[in-house]
């Protein structure tokens, strides 16, 4: 399912329907996580979680994967507007078919996503 059609409207719809509740849910437990070296953000959407992650873990390298080219575009634009120097790689792909590098991430974030993966495909 592509969210390309929703990308230009996602932020205002989220604000109207949920205010800051969804962002609070996304970020609530971040301070409890030890700073990762490499993080994978799955289904990032327009980039609000990436922005929060970069602020919380400035030394981390991030990979953002989303199947929507327009959501990736929104996230990349938001990241550039923040003028951040964090290492971020943006990948347009379906996680179910993306060949994830073995052992590459010590944190995987999947906000409001439903995925089922074999543990062995993510462990090193």
- CATH code of 12's domain: 3.40.50.150
Is pLDDT of 122 > 70? no
CA–CA dist 95, 116 (Å, integer): 10
Is pLDDT of 16 > 70? no
Residue-range definition of the domain harbouring residue 45: 7-121
Is pLDDT of 1 > 60? no
- Name the domain count of the chain: 1
Is pLDDT of 63 > 90? yes
Q: Is residue 39 domain-resident?
A: yes
Q: Is residue 2 domain-resident?
A: no
Q: Is residue 41 domain-resident?
A: yes
Q: Is residue 91 domain-resident?
A: yes
DSSP string, 71-101: HHHHHHHHHHHTT----EEEEE--TTT--PP
Three-state helix/strand/coil letters over 47-68: CHHHHHHHHHCCCCEEEEEECC
Q: Is residue 51 domain-resident?
A: yes
Q: Is residue 1 domain-resident?
A: no
**pLDDT band of 21, cuts 50, 70, 90:** low
């Amino acid at each position: 399912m592509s969210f390309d059609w929703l990308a230009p409207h996602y932020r205002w719809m989220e604000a109207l329907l949920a205010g800051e509740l969804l962002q609070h849910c996304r970020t609530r437990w971040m301070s409890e996580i030890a700073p990762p070296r490499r993080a994978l953000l799955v289904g990032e959407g327009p980039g609000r979680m990436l922005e929060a992650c970069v602020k919380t873990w400035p030394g981390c390298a991030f990979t953002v994967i989303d199947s929507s080219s327009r959501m990736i575009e929104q996230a990349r634009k938001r990241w550039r507007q923040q003028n951040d120097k964090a290492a971020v790689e943006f990948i347009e792909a379906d996680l179910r078919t993306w060949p994830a590098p073995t052992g590459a991430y010590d944190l995987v974030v999947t906000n409001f996503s439903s995925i089922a993966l074999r543990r062995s495909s993510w462990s090193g």
